[in-house]
């Protein structure tokens, strides 16, 4: 009985934290983070084309063992072809248009745990992080 109460308490706390963060609760509730502020300075124009050519493809899709190269496809994502990459980001739920806080892409880019952070090994430039945040906040349009 005590174990059930503890598990219930943990579940209620998790749902409350998600509600406070502004993220939806439920079975498929996303992980959330605190993205760069709206007043951040993007490194480049925050469009998908710029994001793909200046950050995703060069940082995540280099062939020869990269996580998101054609042969890698970690998490079901490949950043080799711009059209396919966009479709995968949206269809896998990695990007929640208008919601950078709960977009898995933003969560991974801002992670401090080296096993969670993308790309591995180093954090993206704050300007690139801002460009991703702004693109998602503006509706993640293609």
Q: What is the pLDDT of residue 28?
A: 56
Where does residue 57 fall: left (phi above 0), alpha (psi -120 to 50 degrees), or beta otherwise? alpha
Tell me what the mean pLDDT of segment 65-71 comes to. 59
Q: What is the pLDDT of residue 41?
A: 96
Q: Summarize pLDDT for 74-122 with one digit per residue, the tens.
A: 666 767 688 888 888 888 888 999 999 999 999 989 999 988 888 877 8
Residue of 43, 55, 40 whose CA lies nearest to 118: 55
Q: Summarize pLDDT for 4-45 with one digit per residue, the tens.
A: 343 333 333 333 333 333 344 444 566 898 888 989 999 999
**Whole-structure pTM over 0.85, yes or no?**
no
Q: What is the pLDDT of residue 81?
A: 82
Q: What is the pLDDT of residue 139?
A: 97
Q: What is the pLDDT of residue 20?
A: 34
Please, which residues have CB within 8 angstroms of residue 93's CB and are 6 or more apart in sequence? 28, 30, 104
Q: What is the pLDDT of residue 70?
A: 58
């Amino acid at each position: 009985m005590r174990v059930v109460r503890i598990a219930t308490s943990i579940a209620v706390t998790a749902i409350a934290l998600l509600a406070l963060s502004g993220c939806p609760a439920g079975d498929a509730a996303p992980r959330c983070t605190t993205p760069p502020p709206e007043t951040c300075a993007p490194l480049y124009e925050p469009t998908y084309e710029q994001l793909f050519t200046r950050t995703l493809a060069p940082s995540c899709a280099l062939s020869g063992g990269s996580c998101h190269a054609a042969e890698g496809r970690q998490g079901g994502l490949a950043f080799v072809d711009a059209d396919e990459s966009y479709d995968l980001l949206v269809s896998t739920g990695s990007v929640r248009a208008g919601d950078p806080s709960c977009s898995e892409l933003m969560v991974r880019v801002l992670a401090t745990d080296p096993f969670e952070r993308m790309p591995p090994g180093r954090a993206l430039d704050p300007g690139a992080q801002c460009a991703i945040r702004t693109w998602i906040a503006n509706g993640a349009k293609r």
